[in-house]
Amino acid sequence: MKKVKLYDTTLRDGAQQEGISFTVSDKLKITQKLDELGIDYIEGGWPGANPKDTEFFSRARGLKLKNSVLVAFGSTRRVDVAVDEDTGLKSLVNSGASAVNIVGKAWDRQVRQVLETGLDNNLAVIRESVAFLKAGGVTAFFDAEHFFDGFNANPAYALATLKAAAEGGADCLVLCDTNGGTLPSEVLSIVKQVKRKLDCPLGIHAHNDSELAVAVSLAAVEGGASHVEGTINGYGERCGNANLCSIIPALQLKLGIKCITVGSLSKLTEVSRFVAEVANLAQHSNLPYVGSNAFLHKAGLHVSAIAKWGESYQHIDPQLVGNNPRVVVSELSGKSNIFFKAKELGIPLPPQGKEAHRILEQVKLLESLGFQYEDADASFELLLLRSQPGYKPPFNLVDYMVVVERHRRLPAAYDIGAQFLAEATIKVKVDNKLMHTASEGNGPVNALDRALRKALLEFYPGLAKTELIDYKVRILEGNIGTGSLVRVFIESSNGKTQWRTVGSSTNIIEASWLALYDSMEYFLLRVDKKSKIR
């Protein structure tokens, strides 16, 4: 079986994405996680280019990597400096990394207009730089920047740059689609041509500017490349780099090309989420293979089919990459969605009864009124619970009132220094006991939240642990202006578990109350069932 080497550049190329800034500790954590996954080469950064990367390589000497080789990245020598006097190359050799990757120009126009040197001098720069690294006792990779653009413009010169690197002793020649504009068919053809002319391992480094980086990488492998560079989650400058979280399973599961062990493949989703968390970014839900929506099913026809045969609407078993199928309920659902979710949640629902049909019709009605259950599983679960025979809610609302007062300090219409006071009065029944309380807050939702807790804490002290951690409002049918429907999502937590609920109304206070009511009821029924005192 063909073996492809995986090369991760999340810590360097991936970190060039806007909004990502890894600390040294972050980089060390990700390095260890990638080592657990079984990545062959991990590019740690550019030692000597900035204090952070220099510190990283210093601290990385203490890592005990089991599967991965740490790589230092840099460039060929400066065009006007002797190779043994180039401080950049010296920093690479002295970094402690056992492998080094240097980037050099492979496009004649880049050589003339960016490097501002002659074509022959560029070949000498490449050859001498690689030879210097090999003399320093490290594995040497050569990233041929803009290779495909260069090949299309001047194939003889682009090949000459690769030959110069090979003459210097390069262990792998990496063909870069730096601008991300080459089509997979072009890459396949060019890699095959290069393979016929050079007896040296070839690699691919693709950018995603045309949404083709993964396809380009796979085409290069089909053409003979045995080394693939990319990043976790496709992080990178502009539109990103080739996404290793898609390349790895495509190689292993689709093409039968071994990259990592089967056990490591099942950690892929975990690694994707871990790197996203360290980068302080939300993992993109629509990422293939590892995203939360990668195996999501919404249409009733689809859910009915996967309940009988999982592969009917899934191209692989999600567990192979550590992911899971998800079924959501919406107005597009069928009864099969209701049965699937009820079974998943452990809520009995007779398969021959009319309960599923009634719940489905209720969902459709409520969604027509602005509710949405795809991202509010707690509210949907309550719909199922409330349909159960003999269901008894933990509390019932009698009525509530909210008053908002603005204390103006200045006569101006826009008094940004004004103070607001919201007060909520609420009546709820627990069993047959009426609780009538009031509470102030910095806004109407906060006042309602505090008043409801105040009324219920005597019976349910566990509510003291809960807090609202996210609150989102969306205006529906905005053409109606201030009379539009409003949808409110609330995310709550008790420090261990998180749940999301939804409310909708033309009145933002009512929409907020409905989501808040569901949040409290869900906590008492499904999260902290032992909190009730009698």
pLDDT in tens, 487-503: 999 999 988 889 999 99
For residue 167, being part of any structural domain is answered with yes
357 and 435 part of one domain: no
For residue 512, being part of any structural domain is answered with no
Where do runs of H (alpha helix) occur along 310-430? 335-345, 355-368, 377-386
154 and 242 part of one domain: yes
For residue 165, being part of any structural domain is answered with yes
**Domain end: 232, 260, 288, which one?**
260
304 and 241 part of one domain: no
Q: Say what the pTM is.
A: 0.76
Mean pLDDT value of segment 358-385: 85
Report the chain's mean pLDDT, rounded to a whole number: 89
**Domain end: 332, 353, 386, which one?**
386
Q: In the chain, what percentage of residues exceed pLDDT 70?
A: 91
Tokens found for residue 15: 């970190």
Q: In the chain, what percentage of residues exceed pLDDT 90?
A: 66
pLDDT over 60 (residue 534): no
Question: Do 234 and 241 form a contact (C-beta atoms < 8 A)?
Answer: yes
350 and 399 part of one domain: no
Mean pLDDT value of segment 390-397: 90
Tokens found for residue 371: 């509710």
Q: Tell me, what's the pLDDT at 166? A: 98
63 and 116 part of one domain: yes
Mean pLDDT value of segment 511-531: 86
120 and 204 part of one domain: yes
68 and 126 part of one domain: yes
pLDDT, tens digit, 9 for 90 and up, residues 438-478:
999 888 888 999 999 999 998 999 898 898 888 888 887 65
pLDDT, tens digit, 9 for 90 and up, residues 273-303:
999 999 998 889 899 999 988 887 777 666 6
Where is pLDDT greater, at 412 or 123? Answer: 123
Question: Do 503 and 511 form a contact (C-beta atoms < 8 A)?
Answer: yes
CA 374 remoteness from chain centre: 19
For residue 269, being part of any structural domain is answered with no
Where is pLDDT greater, at 83 or 350? Answer: 83
Q: Tell me, what's the pLDDT at 339? A: 78
For residue 271, being part of any structural domain is answered with no
State the amino acid at position 173 in one-letter form: L
pLDDT over 70 (residue 421): yes
Strands 467-476 and 485-493: antiparallel
> Which residues constitute the domain of residue 445?
395-459
Question: Do 328 and 296 form a contact (C-beta atoms < 8 A)?
Answer: yes
What is d(CA 460, CA 446) in angstroms, rounded to the nearest whole number?
19
Mean pLDDT value of segment 134-139: 96
What is d(CA 60, CA 97) in angstroms, rounded to the nearest whole number?
9
CATH code for the domain in which residue 455 is found:
3.30.160
pLDDT band for position 372 (cuts 50, 70, 90) = confident
Q: Tell me, what's the pLDDT at 417? A: 56
Sheet holding 485-493, edge to edge: 467-476, 485-493, 498-505
Q: Which of 63-72, 186-195, 368-377 has the lowest mean pLDDT?
A: 368-377
Task: Quote the number of domains for the chain.
Answer: 3
pLDDT over 80 (residue 306): no
pLDDT over 50 (residue 235): yes
**In terms of C-beta density within 10 A (0-12 exposed, 13-18 middle, 19 or more buried), how is residue 107 classed?**
buried
What is d(CA 307, CA 299) in angstroms, rounded to the nearest whole number?
13
Please tell me whether residue 45 adopts helix, strand or coil conformation. Answer: strand
**Domain end: 355, 386, 417, which one?**
386
pLDDT over 50 (residue 367): yes
pLDDT over 80 (residue 531): no
Where is pLDDT greater, at 475 or 409? Answer: 475
pLDDT over 90 (residue 359): no
Q: What DSSP element (H or E) covers 515?
A: helix 508-522
109 and 36 part of one domain: yes
Q: Tell me, what's the pLDDT at 390? A: 86
pLDDT, tens digit, 9 for 90 and up, residues 32-60:
999 999 999 999 999 988 899 999 999 99
Q: Tell me, what's the pLDDT at 533? A: 44
pLDDT, tens digit, 9 for 90 and up, residues 60-108:
999 999 999 999 999 999 999 999 999 999 999 999 999 999 999 999 9
Block residue for tokens 């690694």? 271
Q: Tell me, what's the pLDDT at 410? A: 54
Mean pLDDT value of segment 196-215: 97
380 and 408 part of one domain: no
pLDDT, tens digit, 9 for 90 and up, residues 165-186:
999 999 999 999 999 999 999 9
